[in-house]
């Protein structure tokens, strides 16, 4: 048994189902998702818009709004079930035990108050500190996330910061009381490449040092390859592949994951057009029988149209695909590893 296996997970999601009651009937948005995140681990959750990534994060933080509801399944934080807590109990849990970083930092910051006021209020709500101690702690957190001149900028308002700086403030807010779990929903979207790299570095360094578990939600496989330890690929509300980042990046087992990988541009590949996944994500009211990906899959089998596969163990990963049961077919469609770019750099580092 490895050390990670011996350590209880910080987050444990068991057979999660999320449904929406509509005039046209019940729509199933999350269909039997199970995942775990260990202390100090970053799990990247990737997929197209509508796959269910953000909805899963919303359910974890207790911010799922009606008509959405958790129909079955459990969400456990360090062994304690949290999906059945009251709104007041979840409010006390958020911030102290669960930190959240959202895509748009302006939605997380109140424009009427200085960032120092918002940090100090959060710290004093959850930690037994005086006003002076909380302010000093806030300044240290702003310094840790790389905000220049934190002693001065702590008294400024959100509109006085650039987008990248506001995102650093949001990260400081999420981490200032050392939560056990951080849900980072598209934390680097709309940021330029240099700021994106800095945000990833800050997130990795601070969370690894504190032993915090991180759920990194994104559609960007480059960010996943750079930041995550493991990858969970979602499609139409289900997990289609889960595994170590190097294995998934180099040798994706599910055709959908391979399509995502082959859509990443590289410098050395002389091609007129990047590969694309034909079609689009099915609507919740029109998810096909069998494997939900079968209408878009270039290697669809007759079985795929009638039987829905569960995750099947293959090497170090798991994939919900009937192809993995036929090594000949699977190997025939394994793509070449990218030769350059962040994904290739990660692969070379993993093999070093």
Contact 219/320 with Cβ under 8 angstroms?
no
What pLDDT is attached to residue 267?
Answer: 66
Name the residue ranges covered by the structural domains of the chain. 3-228, 247-265+287-351
This model's pTM is above 0.95: no
Query: What's the average pLDDT block by block, 10 residues per block, for the chain (352 residues)?
Result: 64 96 91 94 92 93 92 95 92 88 80 95 92 96 89 95 87 89 85 77 80 89 87 95 92 90 71 79 91 92 93 92 71 44 42 36
Q: For domain 3-228, which architecture applies? A: 3-Layer(aba) Sandwich (3.40)
Q: Which of 125, 141, 124, 142 is nearest to 133 (CA)?
A: 124
Taking CA 231 as the corner, what is the angle to CA 225 and CA 236, rounded to the nearest 5 degrees?
Answer: 120
Stretch (H or E) spanning 350: helix 341-351
| Other CB atoms within 10 A of residue 150 CB | 20
What pLDDT is attached to residue 348?
Answer: 40
Rounded to whole angstroms, the Cα distance separating 53 from 224 reads 14
Q: Which of 148, 147, 152 is nearest to 135 (CA)?
A: 152
Rounded to whole angstroms, the Cα distance separating 60 from 40 reads 18
What pLDDT is attached to residue 328?
Answer: 47
What distances in angstroms separate CA 147 from CA 109, 139, 150, one per listed residue?
A: 16, 9, 6
What pLDDT is attached to residue 197?
Answer: 81
What pLDDT is attached to residue 270?
Answer: 67
């Amino acid at each position: 048994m490895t050390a990670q296996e011996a350590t209880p997970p910080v987050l444990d999601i068991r057979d999660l189902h999320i449904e929406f009651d509509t005039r046209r009937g019940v729509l199933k948005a999350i269909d039997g998702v199970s995942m775990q995140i260990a202390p100090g681990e970053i799990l990247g959750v990737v997929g197209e818009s509508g796959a269910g990534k953000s909805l899963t994060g919303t359910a974890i933080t207790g911010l799922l709004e009606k008509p959405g509801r958790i129909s079955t399944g459990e969400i456990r934080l360090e062994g304690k079930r949290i999906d059945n807590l009251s709104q007041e109990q979840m409010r006390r849990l958020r911030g102290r035990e669960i930190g959240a970083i959202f895509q748009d930092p302006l939605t997380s910051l109140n424009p009427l108050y200085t960032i120092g006021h918002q940090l100090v209020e959060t710290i004093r709500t959850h930690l037994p500190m005086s006003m002076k101690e909380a302010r000093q702690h806030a300044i240290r957190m702003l310094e840790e996330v790389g905000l220049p001149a934190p002693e001065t900028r702590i008294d400024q308002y959100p509109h006085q910061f650039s987008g990248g700086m506001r995102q650093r403030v949001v990260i400081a807010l999420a981490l200032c009381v050392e939560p056990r779990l951080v849900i980072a929903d598209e934390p680097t979207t709309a940021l330029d490449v240099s700021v994106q790299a800095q945000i990833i570095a800050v997130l990795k360094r601070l969370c690894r040092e504190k032993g915090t578990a991180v759920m990194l939600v994104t559609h960007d496989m480059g960010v996943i390859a750079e930041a995550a330890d493991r990858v969970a690929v979602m499609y139409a509300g289900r997990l289609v592949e889960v595994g170590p980042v190097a294995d998934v990046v180099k040798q994706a087992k599910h055709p959908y994951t391979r399509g995502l990988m082959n859509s990443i541009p590289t410098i050395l590949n002389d091609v007129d057009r990047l590969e694309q996944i034909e079609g689009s994500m099915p609507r919740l009211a029109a998810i096909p029988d069998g494997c939900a990906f079968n209408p878009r899959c270039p290697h669809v089998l007759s079985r795929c149209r009638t039987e829905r596969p569960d995750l099947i163990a293959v090497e170090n990963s798991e994939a919900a695909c009937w192809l993995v049961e036929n090594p000949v077919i699977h190997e025939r469609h394994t793509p070449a590893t990218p030769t350059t770019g962040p994904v290739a750099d990660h692969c070379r580092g993993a093999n070093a």
